[in-house]
Amino acid sequence: SQIFGFYYYSMQKKEIIVLSWHPIQSNVYYAGGFRRLYEILLRVPSDINVTCLDTNPSFLKSISKKNISLVEYKIPKSISNLTDLNFFVGKVVERIYVTMYLAKYLISQKHKRTIYVPFSELPHLTVAAVIGKLFTRHRLVFCNLNPNTYFFDRIINQIAHRYSDLNITISNSLKVQLAKFGIKCNIVNPVGIDINSYKKFGERSKQQTGIFVGRHVEEKGIYTALKVCAEINKSRHFILNCAGDIPADQRQKIEKSCGKEEAPFD
């Protein structure tokens, strides 16, 4: 029950619909929120049936559990082509398409279930979920991983979160941040790790190193980390280990930074 943070809402039917979306232009396997959903689904008890809706190709394909079913939906090629021509316009059209597809699917489900949105900072998921609840009386649970600061997204999410039966977030500090944006979270379900997975590596020699984990984009702080590493390297040898997806449009810029003589990063 603690894994989802909303087991109470599925005690009778024990059936859950998970709404997911990921950008097809990027490798999401190492992004924190997507990995969190993946790990949650691996741990779902066998007596709870879960249907996951995710963009094709889905990062959830490798989950082979009888109680987990996957419905993949494709982003039309015409929208992808439009995104290549004009990124902003293409993404707006994609959001509208995803919202309509997911809402239509939810409305088609006649018996009552629990809708779970693991990334409720994304308005195309929250709006579809709210429509599903209003038309079919499904229960609705949101999990917010980030404070979406875009003006229209913020307004939409502020309204959408008022319709949910339960709002979850992953830290107390994030709970405070979200409250400032008008989103009240009932439960804090923190992220953790399995220590037993790391015990087998044993002791290692100590040296000055740092670790950056996350998508290599400005919003996640990769360029700040590189600047800090460069500053430290002026007086001592320091190694920065980076793990996470590098979007195609960022790779050249990052490699150029790492190749500078004054910033010898690994």
- Report the pLDDT value the prediction gives residue 202, as an integer from 0 to 100: 61
- Report the pLDDT value the prediction gives residue 194, as an integer from 0 to 100: 63
- Report the pLDDT value the prediction gives residue 230, as an integer from 0 to 100: 85
CA distance 266 to 264: 7
- Report the pLDDT value the prediction gives residue 111, as an integer from 0 to 100: 81
- Report the pLDDT value the prediction gives residue 148, as an integer from 0 to 100: 83
Identify the segments of the chain with pLDDT beneath 50.
1-3, 5-12, 261-266
Strand 15-19 with 239-243, pairing: unpaired
CA distance 128 to 104: 8
CA distance 56 to 80: 13
- Report the pLDDT value the prediction gives residue 261, as an integer from 0 to 100: 42
Give bridge partners of residue 243 from the DSSP assignment: 213
- Report the pLDDT value the prediction gives residue 26, as an integer from 0 to 100: 65
- Report the pLDDT value the prediction gives residue 265, as an integer from 0 to 100: 43
- Tokens linked to 178: 């979200």
- Report the pLDDT value the prediction gives residue 10, as an integer from 0 to 100: 46
Distances (CA, A) of 40 to 15, 59, 106, 196, 252: 15, 13, 22, 18, 34
* Residue 34 identity (one-letter amino acid): F
Task: Give the count of alpha carbons within 13 A of 10, CB side only.
Answer: 24
Is 0.75 surpassed by the pTM of this model? no
